[in-house]
């Protein structure tokens, strides 16, 4: 077992599970533990285990996914720039109010990545300095990458306000 | 007037009357694509820059959940459309990691060669357009002349110039002919001269150097903290290149053929120099790979039931016909494990990764892209503060923001 997992187990006993597939090591934090644990766990990985590079923040909707217990997963892909090692921290959140602590205090790069997850899945990030929609227009109400959002949309665009030349 | 009587500027300065707002884009020649900057200006000095993106958002990742592993390659092409082949390699790298496919040696080499050509093409556009925005038209023309040759090679290999859609799960659409190899050899022979021309036009060009040196400085600590990768990070002294750190495709064999290009300046000029040198390293990789191009099949064995059989096998053998249908019928296709993987490759702009979640079907449950342009553009406001408005094109050009990849 990798040294960083020992550190994590000592620091956060029982807070996470791990799994591995084709060399990708995952640290999984369930929805009931994530709000309390996630930020400390990421900080421990960054400051004590050398995972100083936040590579990506990916949202996943596990609605009706085989064997899934929680709905929204947010995957923090971390890299150690010295050794090149990678670890994937997957934290879950659930309806009706999916919320996770923001990683912006640790990595400035998390700012836009978390905004995109919020924009696409509606997962809020507590402590994010500027949590607005980033890719969709600000008047958009749905979260388009959720699994219950249809591919062809719900027709929101028809309700967008039209700006005429006289008003502009 | 004594100094203490003059109005003092707040740290933010947002409510100061003498500040004004300038909308830069979404349609502006220097943005090259559709992105918008809301600049708060004090005279010509930028106090604050707020990017507003999403103009080109077209739901690529939603489509990734609807199209199968082979179909989605046409969408991936359109992300960073400057070096589409590199995106294809990255996408299928992730998919093949998920399914667990070991490619044939010939396929590995061909993908490596074409991906490196795509890198050269991308860097040429970045350098050429950056110089164009700063008023140096000639370098742009030299660069585009070479890009045309790369397009010709792609056309000969895949039949399409801009969006080759050439990779397939477990191989390539088809093998390349001897004429493509000749074209690549020809490119290897002629490219150094064009590269030297651009170097002579720009490297010591007084105007170009004055407008890029010391502009948009990104420190090494900031580069790591903000998640920068590729030439942007390497120009700030981050020694990280997935081709060395996590060698994929044919790179394990070609480690001796290239070096990782780094600089310590972190400014626009350093990023320009890193890109210029990377082109030479890419050419060395192509040279070594073409000379050692293995013979043999380009796709994995037909018996693995992973690749589309060629037309002869489809029409002349029952196994080929069955497999063809198996891979095209929506209720059959591949049977990947119910797992998730992250596969990343080093593209021209940086680390392009795909986080693929699979539910055991031929379509991804989630096809998350790690877009380098998106992450680099997030750094832009930080680079911009305190600079002049004329530095906007210089910094934008040096980051090589591709809006289609930015918004997806």
Q: Which two tokens stand for residue A53?
A: 């590079």
Contact B122, B83 (CB under 8 A): yes
Q: Does B356 touch chain A (CB under 8 A)?
A: no
B213 and B353 together in one domain: yes
Range A146-152, long-range pairs (CB < 8 A, 24+ positions): A146/A61, A146/A63, A146/A120, A146/A121, A146/A122, A147/A61, A147/A63, A147/A64, A148/A63, A151/B62, A151/B63, A151/B66
- As a whole number of angstroms, the distance between CA B13 and CA B276 comes to 39
DSSP H or E segment with residue B281: helix B268-291
B40 and B71 together in one domain: no
Burial category of A80 from C-beta neighbours within 10 Å (exposed 0-12, middle 13-18, buried 19 and up): middle
Min Cα separation A30/chain B (Å): 17
Q: Which two tokens stand for residue B184?
A: 């690549």
Min Cα separation A111/chain B (Å): 8
Q: Is A123 helix (H, G, I), strand (E, B) or coil?
A: coil
Give how many domains chain B has, as a whole number: 2
Is it the case that residue A161 has pLDDT exceeding 80? Answer: no
Is it the case that residue B300 has pLDDT exceeding 90? Answer: no
DSSP H or E segment with residue B207: helix B206-212
Q: Answer whether B368 sits within 8 Å of A136, measured CB to CB.
A: no
CATH number, domain with residue B307 = 1.10.645.10
Q: Answer whether A58 sits within 8 Å of B351, measured CB to CB.
A: no
- As a whole number of angstroms, the distance between CA A52 and CA B227 comes to 9
Nearest to B271 by CA among B386, B172, B383: B383
Is it the case that residue A147 has pLDDT exceeding 70? Answer: yes
Residue-wise pLDDT for B18-62, tens only, equals: 788 888 878 777 667 788 888 888 888 888 888 888 888 888 999
B272 and B307 together in one domain: yes
Of B52, B68, B85, the residue that ends a domain is B52
Contact B405, B82 (CB under 8 A): no
Tell me which residues of chain B, numbers 362 to 401, contact chain A at a CB-CB cutoff of 8 Å. Answer: 365-366, 368, 370, 374-375, 377-378, 382
Q: Is A143 helix (H, G, I), strand (E, B) or coil?
A: coil
Q: Phi, psi at residue B283, to the nearest 5°?
A: -60, -40
- As a whole number of angstroms, the distance between CA A122 and CA A141 comes to 10
B27 and B146 together in one domain: no
Mean pLDDT for the stretch of residues B175-192: 91
Residue-wise pLDDT for B141-160, tens only, equals: 999 999 999 999 999 998 88
Nearest to B214 by CA among B395, B397, B47: B395
- As a whole number of angstroms, the distance between CA B310 and CA B298 comes to 11
B94 and B8 together in one domain: no
Domain locations in chain A?
3-159
Is it the case that residue B6 has pLDDT exceeding 60? Answer: no
- As a whole number of angstroms, the distance between CA B334 and CA B143 comes to 42
Burial category of B240 from C-beta neighbours within 10 Å (exposed 0-12, middle 13-18, buried 19 and up): buried
Is it the case that residue A107 has pLDDT exceeding 60? Answer: yes
pLDDT at B346: 92
Residue-wise pLDDT for B374-401, tens only, equals: 999 999 888 888 888 888 888 888 888 8
- As a whole number of angstroms, the distance between CA B405 and CA B347 comes to 12
- Tokens 């999984």, residue? A28
Q: Answer whether A21 sits within 8 Å of B341, measured CB to CB.
A: yes
Across the A/B interface, how many CB contacts are shorter than 8 Å? 104
Nearest chain B residue (CA) to A50: B224
Percent of chain A at pLDDT above 70? 99
Percent of chain A at pLDDT above 90? 30
pLDDT at B3: 56
Q: Which two tokens stand for residue B374?
A: 């998106």
Using pLDDT thresholds of 50, 70 and 90, give the confidence band for residue A59: very high
pLDDT at A33: 86
Contact B116, B287 (CB under 8 A): no
B235 and B338 together in one domain: yes
B162 and B238 together in one domain: yes
- As a whole number of angstroms, the distance between CA B317 and CA B323 comes to 10
B237 and B273 together in one domain: yes
Nearest to A95 by CA among A116, A113, A122: A122
B262 and B329 together in one domain: yes
Mean pLDDT for the stretch of residues B340-367: 91
- As a whole number of angstroms, the distance between CA B128 and CA B143 comes to 6
Q: Does B26 touch chain A (CB under 8 A)?
A: no
| Chain A residues touching residue B353 (CB < 8 angstroms) | 55-56, 77
Using pLDDT thresholds of 50, 70 and 90, give the confidence band for residue B105: very high
- As a whole number of angstroms, the distance between CA B287 and CA B192 comes to 12
Give the CATH number of domain A3-159: 3.30.460.80
Contact B139, B128 (CB under 8 A): yes
Range of the domain at B342: 60-405
Query: CA separation (Å) from B282 to A148, B154, B287, B340?
Result: 44, 16, 9, 31
Min Cα separation A119/chain B (Å): 11
B70 and B191 together in one domain: yes
B241 and B336 together in one domain: yes
Q: Answer whether A109 sits within 8 Å of B360, measured CB to CB.
A: no
């Amino acid at each position: 077992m990798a040294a960083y997992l020992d550190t994590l187990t000592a620091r956060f006993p029982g807070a996470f599970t791990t799994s591995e597939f084709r060399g990708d090591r995952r640290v999984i934090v369930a929805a009931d533990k994530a709000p309390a644990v996630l930020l400390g766990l990421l900080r421990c990985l960054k400051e004590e285990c050398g995972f100083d590079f936040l590579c990506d923040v990916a949202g996943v909707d596990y609605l009706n996914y085989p064997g899934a217990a929680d709905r929204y997963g947010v995957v923090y892909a971390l890299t150690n720039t010295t050794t090149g090692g990678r670890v994937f921290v997957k934290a879950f959140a659930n309806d009706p109010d999916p919320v996770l602590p923001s990683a912006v205090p640790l990595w400035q790069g998390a700012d836009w990545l978390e905004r995109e997850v919020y924009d696409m899945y509606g997962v809020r990030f507590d402590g994010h300095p500027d949590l607005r929609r980033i890719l969709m227009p600000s008047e958009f109400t749905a979260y388009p990458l959720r699994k219950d959002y249809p591919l062809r949309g719900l027709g929101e665009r028809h309700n967008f306000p039209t700006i005429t030349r006289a008003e502009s | 007037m004594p100094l203490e009587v003059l109005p003092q500027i707040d740290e933010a300065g947002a409510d100061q009357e003498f500040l004004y707002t300038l909308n830069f884009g979404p349609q502006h020649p220097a943005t090259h694509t559709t992105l918008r900057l809301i600049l708060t200006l004090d005279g010509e000095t930028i106090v604050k820059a707020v990017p507003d993106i999403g103009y080109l958002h077209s739901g690529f990742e939603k489509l990734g959940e609807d199209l199968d592993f082979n179909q989605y390659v046409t969408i991936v092409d359109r992300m960073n459309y400057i070096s589409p082949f590199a995106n294809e390699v990255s996408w299928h790298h992730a998919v093949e990691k998920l399914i667990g496919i070991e490619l044939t040696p010939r396929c590995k080499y061909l993908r490596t060669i074409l991906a490196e050509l795509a890198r050269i093409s991308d860097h040429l556009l970045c350098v050429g357009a950056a110089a164009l925005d700063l008023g140096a038209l000639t370098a742009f023309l030299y660069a585009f002349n070479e890009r045309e040759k790369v397009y010709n090679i792609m056309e000969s290999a895949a039949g399409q110039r801009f969006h080759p859609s050439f990779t397939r799960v477990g191989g390539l659409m088809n093998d390349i002919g001897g004429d493509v190899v000749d074209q690549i050899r020809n490119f290897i022979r002629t490219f150094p001269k064009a590269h030297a021309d651009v170097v002579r036009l720009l490297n010591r060009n007084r105007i170009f150097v004055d407008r890029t040196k010391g502009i948009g400085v990104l420190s090494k600590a900031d580069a790591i903290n903000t998640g920068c990768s590729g030439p942007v990070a390497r120009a700030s002294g981050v020694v990280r290149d997935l081709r060395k750190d996590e060698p994929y495709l044919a790179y394990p064999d070609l480690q001796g053929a290239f070096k990782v290009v780094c600089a310590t300046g972190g400014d626009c000029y350093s990023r320009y120099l890193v890109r210029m040198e990377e082109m030479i390293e890419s050419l060395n990789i192509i040279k070594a790979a073409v000379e050692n191009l293995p013979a043999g099949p380009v796709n994995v064995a037909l018996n693995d039931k992973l690749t589309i059989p060629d037309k002869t096998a489809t029409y002349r053998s029952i196994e080929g016909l069955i497999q063809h249908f198996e891979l095209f019928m929506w209720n059959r296709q591949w049977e990947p494990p119910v797992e998730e993987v992250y596969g990343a490759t080093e593209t021209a702009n940086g680390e392009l990764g795909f986080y693929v979640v699979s539910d055991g079907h031929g379509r991804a449950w989630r096809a998350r892209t790690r877009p380098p342009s998106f992450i680099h553009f997030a750094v832009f406001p930080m680079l911009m503060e305190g600079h002049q408005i004329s530095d906007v094109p210089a910094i934008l050009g040096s980051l090589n923001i591709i809006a289609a990849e930015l918004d997806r």
